[in-house]
């Protein structure tokens, strides 16, 4: 490393967010950036730790110490080449990844000040686009065709990997624009869609074919392809089947998030189809990142108040002795959306929706207790009988997604990402896309040899 002792005198410095009073008035990205000098200083904090647990923790196997060192030395092009060798879309993960690498950084484990790996990754990607380091590849074609069903993170990963190997790749998606969850599930204030469009122009210039607005039945795949990759994600949200579910004003989280992104893309909707929080008391059921996105979107739409409830207990702040490394640290996470104004409550189970004139006006909740796990089992939930009503004019269900059941496919059909494993992180979908691309290439290798 260029300066293996920099971590001793240079503290962790995050770029931070735009001021709250400013950012809640628009859907522009909330995260700010550091100047190049400060960014290089942050990269210098990557110490010569011997065993890079950050690399081990990253589903993509990013070579974090190597690109941190190149960045510290001002070798931005080299840093991007190292980063891009394992990550085809660092401009996405650099913005939305929860940074499993940082949770395993030796500086996180020793003094709770990990290297700003995610922010550094985003800065390298932006420099690469700004300086023209990213140019379309023109691979020699091998005569084989692959269809990728689903243009989300996993599908894009499969497509870019196989295209680089010379396959003619066609991406099919039912949505009008590529990106899947990246485009229609993540708010613009976390991932501006111009960032996606910029990369899609590169992929199109590299020869990847996009067939948007086309619904493909996975039981009747399009003909004319040598192999197929099913990357349709997890389309079915987990529902809350309690009395009153039929009331108006109760929506799945993606009903709001996807529609808002469509609107920002210029689409319009009839007034009676709008999922808008303006002037409403909003209750978000579910304490994860999707719930957080609903909070930020509701605030920007003009909600009167936003409350988020979670059935699990409130996790500890900072450190949780029950989830030591290498487990994922289950600690209290406060997002930029939480900072903007939200009441958060834990250990509450929803028992029924309450309505008036066919519209939801509240949710009855019951406080629950969680008994410690025994004999390796999961913790047990116990009802307390303590009930109350939380008033709400809009309820957003953000409780995750159901793992899809896939039919038995032919041997030339492969499944990747959430469609294969259930809902997970974007970075895991990207990694699984690379895995499936390798499997497809291995499967088609004899056909390429016969062609020769």
| Domain carrying residue 99 | 4-129
- For residue 449, is pLDDT > 70? no
Of 129, 153, 188, the domain-final residue: 129
C-alpha span between 24 and 2 (Å, rounded): 41
> Can you give 49-86 as a three-state secondary structure string?
CCCCHHHHHCCCCCCHHHHHHHHHCCCHHHHHHHHHCC
Asked whether residue 135 is domain-assigned, the answer is no
Of 395, 411, 432, the domain-final residue: 395
Contact 413, 222 (CB under 8 A): no
Residue 48: pLDDT band by 50, 70, 90 thresholds? Answer: confident
| pLDDT of the residue at 448 | 65
Do residues 217 and 113 share a domain? no
The CATH number of residue 346's host domain is 3.50.50.60
Number of H helices, E strands in the chain: 17, 13
Asked whether residue 334 is domain-assigned, the answer is yes
Residue 4: pLDDT band by 50, 70, 90 thresholds? Answer: confident
Do residues 303 and 427 share a domain? no
Do residues 156 and 62 share a domain? no
Which tens digits make up the pLDDT trace of 392-401?
999 999 999 9
| pLDDT of the residue at 368 | 97
| pLDDT of the residue at 306 | 98
- For residue 166, is pLDDT > 80? yes
Asked whether residue 120 is domain-assigned, the answer is yes
Strand partners, 382: 369
Which tens digits make up the pLDDT trace of 118-164?
999 999 999 999 999 999 999 999 999 999 999 999 999 999 999 99
Sequence-distant (6+) residues with CB within 8 A of 19 are none
Do residues 115 and 16 share a domain? yes
Mean pLDDT of 20-28: 98
Asked whether residue 239 is domain-assigned, the answer is no
| pLDDT of the residue at 296 | 98
Sequence-distant (6+) residues with CB within 8 A of 51 are none
Do residues 161 and 260 share a domain? no
- For residue 1, is pLDDT > 80? no
Do residues 66 and 155 share a domain? no
Of 66, 94, 129, the domain-final residue: 129
Do residues 53 and 171 share a domain? no
Helix (H) or strand (E) run with residue 96 in it: helix 90-96
Largest Cα–Cα distance in the chain? 73
Structure tokens at 174: 């039912």
Do residues 280 and 385 share a domain? yes
Rounded to the nearest 10°, the torsion over CA 147, 150, 156, 161 is: -30
Residue 28: pLDDT band by 50, 70, 90 thresholds? Answer: very high
Asked whether residue 257 is domain-assigned, the answer is yes
Asked whether residue 417 is domain-assigned, the answer is yes
Residue 3: pLDDT band by 50, 70, 90 thresholds? Answer: confident
| pLDDT of the residue at 68 | 96
Task: Pick the closest to residue 118 from 18, 190, 21, 20 (CA basis).
Answer: 190
| pLDDT of the residue at 2 | 63
Residue 451: pLDDT band by 50, 70, 90 thresholds? Answer: low
Asked whether residue 243 is domain-assigned, the answer is no
Residue 447: pLDDT band by 50, 70, 90 thresholds? Answer: confident
Do residues 201 and 321 share a domain? no
Do residues 379 and 435 share a domain? no
The CATH number of residue 18's host domain is 1.10.1060.10
| pLDDT of the residue at 374 | 80
Do residues 274 and 333 share a domain? yes
| pLDDT of the residue at 62 | 98
The CATH number of residue 188's host domain is 3.40.50.720
- pTM (two decimals): 0.95
Rounded mean pLDDT of the chain? 96
- For residue 452, is pLDDT > 70? no
Asked whether residue 134 is domain-assigned, the answer is no
Which tens digits make up the pLDDT trace of 181-199?
999 999 999 999 999 999 9
- For residue 403, is pLDDT > 60? yes
Do residues 378 and 416 share a domain? no
Sequence-distant (6+) residues with CB within 8 A of 183 are 175, 177, 193, 196, 261
| Residue recorded with tokens 């590849």 | 137
C-alpha span between 356 and 114 (Å, rounded): 51
What is the domain count for the chain?
Answer: 3
């Amino acid at each position: 490393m260029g300066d293996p002792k920099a971590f001793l005198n240079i503290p962790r410095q995050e770029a931070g967010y735009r001021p709250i009073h400013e950012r809640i008035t628009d859907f522009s990205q909330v995260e700010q950036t550091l100047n190049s000098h400060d960014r290089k200083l942050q990269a210098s904090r990557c110490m010569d730790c011997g065993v890079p647990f950050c690399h081990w923790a990253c589903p993509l196997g990013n070579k974090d110490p190597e690109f941190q060192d190149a960045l510290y030395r001002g070798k931005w092009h080299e840093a991007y080449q190292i980063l891009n060798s394992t990550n085809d879309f660092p401009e996405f993960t650099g913005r939305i990844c929860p940074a499993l690498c940082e949770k395993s950084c030796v500086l996180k484990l020793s003094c709770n000040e990990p290297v700003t790996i995610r922010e550094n990754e985003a800065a390298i990607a932006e420099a690469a686009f700004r300086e023209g380091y990213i140019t379309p590849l023109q691979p020699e074609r091998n005569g084989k065709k692959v269809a990728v069903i689903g243009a989300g993170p996993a599908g894009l990963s499969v497509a870019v990997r196989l295209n680089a190997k010379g396959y003619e790749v066609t991406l099919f998606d039912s949505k009008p624009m590529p990106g899947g969850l990246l485009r229609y599930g993540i708010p613009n204030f976390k991932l501006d869609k111009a960032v996606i469009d910029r990369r899609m122009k590169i992929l199109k210039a590299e020869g990847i074919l996009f067939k948007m607005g086309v619904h493909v039945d996975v039981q009747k795949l399009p003909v004319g392809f040598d192999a197929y990759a099913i990357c349709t994600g997890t389309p079915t949200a987990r529902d809350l089947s309690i009395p009153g579910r039929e009331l108006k004003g109760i929506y799945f989280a993606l009903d709001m998030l996807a529609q808002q992104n469509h609107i920002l893309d210029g689409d319009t909707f009839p007034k009676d189809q709008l999922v808008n929080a303006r002037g409403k008391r909003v209750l978000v059921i579910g304490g994860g990142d999707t719930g957080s996105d609903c909070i930020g979107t509701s605030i920007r739409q003009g909600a009167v108040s936003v409350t988020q409830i979670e059935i699990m207990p409130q996790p500890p702040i900072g450190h949780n002795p029950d989830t030591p490394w290498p487990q994922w640290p289950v600690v209290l996470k406060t997002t930029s959306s939480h900072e903007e104004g939200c009441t958060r409550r834990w250990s509450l189970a929803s028992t029924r929706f309450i309505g008036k004139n066919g519209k939801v006006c509240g949710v009855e909740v019951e406080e629950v207790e969680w008994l410690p796990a025994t004999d390796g089992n999961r913790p047990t939930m116990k009802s307390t009988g303590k009930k109350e009503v939380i008033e709400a004019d809009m309820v957003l269900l953000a409780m995750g997604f159901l793992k899809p059941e896939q039919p038995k496919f032919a041997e030339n059909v492969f499944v990747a990402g959430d469609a294969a494993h259930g809902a997970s992180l974007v970075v895991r979908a990207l990694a699984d896309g690379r895995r499936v691309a390798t499997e497809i290439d291995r499967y088609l290798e004899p056909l390429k040899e016969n062609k020769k």
